[in-house]
Amino acid sequence: MRFKRAYDAPDPADGQRVLADRLWPRGLAKVKAHIDFWAKDATPSTMLRKWFHEHPEQFDEFRHRFLAELAVLDADHNAMLQELRTRVSEGTVTLLTAAHRLEDDEAHTHLHVLRDFLASRR
């Protein structure tokens, strides 16, 4: 699984491009985005996203809370999470985010938590 900014140009090596943000990226036209699937339910809740924005130094706590949210979705057999799992099992998937500094702070994004969650539940 790869990570990329939604604003970055698509590449054939991306495989399926999955937007893993609750909000659509500002200024990005849906036609030009080349997004195969929008997994907005498999992202941090609005409340958790805002909390983490205010407390970026508390990534471990964010990770714990986001994993708890994903576990609830999983227990409820969330259709979007199931679809994401199916796509991951079919081949290369690039998770996309609108984060501005993905390359600077890649290890501290929800994408890593989501990837780890999906890998642990295979």
**In this structure, which amino acid lies at residue 120?**
S
How many angstroms separate the CA atoms of 117 and 69, rounded?
11
Side-chain half-sphere of 53: how many Cα atoms within 13 Å? 9
Q: pLDDT value at position 101?
A: 61
7 φ, ψ (degrees, to nearest 5) = -80, -15
The per-residue b/e assignment along 82-104, b for 16 or more CB within 10 angstroms, e otherwise, is eebeebbeeeebbbbbbbeebee
Average pLDDT (13-26) is 94
pTM: 0.88
How many angstroms separate the CA atoms of 68 and 90, rounded?
26
- pLDDT one-digit tens code per residue, 50-103: 999 899 899 999 999 999 999 999 998 889 999 999 999 999 999 999 876 655
Coil, strand or helix: which one is 10? coil
Where exactly are the structural domains of the chain?
Answer: 2-120
Of the pLDDT bands very low, low, confident and very high (cuts 50, 70, 90), residue 31 is confident
Average pLDDT (21-29) is 92
Q: pLDDT value at position 109?
A: 85
Q: pLDDT value at position 99?
A: 78
Q: pLDDT value at position 56?
A: 87
How many angstroms separate the CA atoms of 84 and 74, rounded?
12
Q: pLDDT value at position 105?
A: 54
Q: Which residues fall within 8 angstroms of residue 119, CB to CB, at 6 or more apart?
A: none
